[in-house]
Amino acid sequence: MISYASNQPEFLISKLQNQNVIEQEVDKWDYKKARLVKTKVQIRITSENNLIYSTLEGVVLRDLQREIYQDNFGYLEVLKNIEQIAHLQWHGEYGQNYRKLGKWEATWDGETLQNVGGYYQEGLKEGLWKEPIKNYWSKAQVFESGEYFHNKRQGRWNFTQQNKNINQTIGGGSYNEQAKKNGKWTELHEGVYDDLQVTWDGEYKNGQKVGSWNIMNDNLKMLMIINNIYSGGGSFGDGDGFKQGSWVELWNGFTCFSWVTENGEYQNGKKVGRWDMWYKDYDNKQSFKMQKKPQVLC
C-alpha cells in the first residue's frame, strides 16, 4: 500500500528538476481577517529524488518520496492549499510501470474520507468517482462526484457538501463527450468556505462560458445579477473567453462580513476606464459607493 498527496497535475517533473526550486502560490486561512489569503511555498526535488514543500523561510511542510508524488505520466501533482499539504493523502496500489490500479481512497489528517475515491485501470480513472474540490480544506469540505471514461469526465457531475450526515447538492453541471463543460452549470466561487458559499450560475458551450451569469449566495439568496459576464458569439471576442462589457466582481477581500464589489468595464479581458467599489448593507438592502479602497470589514 502506497500513500501520496495529490491534486491536479501542473507541470512536468523534468521541468522542476531543471529549475531546482520553484515558488508556488497557495491558499492559507487568515484568522485575523477571517478569509483565505494567498501565500507562497517552495517546491524542490532533492538529490535523493524526494519532493519537498517548504515555507520561504525553509520550514519543511511535506517530504514525499518520488514514486508517490507524481501521476502516471511524469507530471507533478501540486497541492494548492496549506492544509492540503499537511493533511490530504491518497492511498492505493500500483501495477506495472507504476500505473495506478484498482481502488484508491483518500484520508484527511489520518481519517478516511467516507466514500471518497474511485477505481483506476492502467493508470486511468474509470467509472464513478468522488473527489475533494481543488480548494478543499477543513472549512470547505466540498466534493465533486460523477463518472470518468478513460480519465475524462463525462455526463453529470455534482458538487456536494455533507451537512449533519446528509449529503447536500450545492452545484454542478454536465460534460460533453469531449470532456468539456456544456449547458447549465452552478459553480463554486474560488474562495468558498462554510460561511461564504458563493456560486456562479450560467451556461457553458463547449467549455466556454456564454450569456448571462448570476452570482448567488446561500444566505443572501440573490447577491447580484450580472448580464453578459462573459459574452458569446459575435460579442464574445471570437470565442476566446475574454471578459467583455460591464462586470461586477467580488473584491478580493470579500467575506461574509465584508460584502464589497468592484464595478467596471472589460475589453478583451482587460479592465478599462473607471472602476468603482461598492459596499452592500444587506440589513438595509442598500449599496453604497466607497470613496477609498476598504480595509477588511471584520
pLDDT tens digits, one per residue of 197-251: 778 888 888 888 877 777 776 654 444 443 333 322 223 345 566 777 777 777 6
What mean pLDDT is reported for the chain?
76
For the segment 260-274, the average pLDDT, to the nearest whole number, is 79
Nearest to 41 by CA among 96, 84, 7: 84
Q: Above 80 in pLDDT, residue 21?
A: yes
Q: Above 80 in pLDDT, residue 9?
A: no
Q: Above 60 in pLDDT, residue 294?
A: no
pLDDT at 39: 92
Residues 6+ away with beta carbon under 8 Å from 283: none
pLDDT at 149: 97
The secondary structure of the chain, three-state, reads CEEECCCCEEEEHHHHHHHCEEEEEEEEEECCCCEEEEEEEEEEECCCCCEEEEECCCCEEEEECHHHCECCCCEEECCCEHHHHHHEEEEEEECHHHCEEEEEEEEECCEEEEEEEEEEECCEEEEEEEEECCCCECCECEEEEEEEECCEEEEEEEEEEEECCEEEEEEEEEECCCCCEEEEEEEECCCCECCECEEEEEEEECCEEEEEEEEEECCCEEEEEECCCCCCHHHCCCCCCCCCEEEEEECCCCECCECEEEEEEEECCEEEEEEEEEEEECCCCEEEECCCCCCCCC
Per DSSP bridges, beta strands 60-64 and 2-4 are unpaired
pLDDT at 80: 84
Beta bridge partners of 215: 200, 224
pLDDT at 281: 53
Least confident of 26-35, 55-64, 97-106, 279-288: 279-288
Residue type (1 letter), 137: W
Chain segment 74-84, per-residue pLDDT in tens: 677 788 899 99
Residues in the chain: 298
Predicted structure pTM score: 0.77
Residue type (1 letter), 206: N
Nearest 10 degrees: CA dihedral of 150, 156, 157, 159?
A: -170
pLDDT at 6: 39
pLDDT level of residue 296 (50, 70, 90 thresholds):
very low
Determine the Cα–Cα distance for residues 221 and 215; give it in Å rounded to an integer.
10
Q: Report percent pLDDT > 90 for the chain.
A: 31
pLDDT at 133: 92
Grid coordinates of 5: 498527496
Bigger pLDDT: 3 vs 81: 81
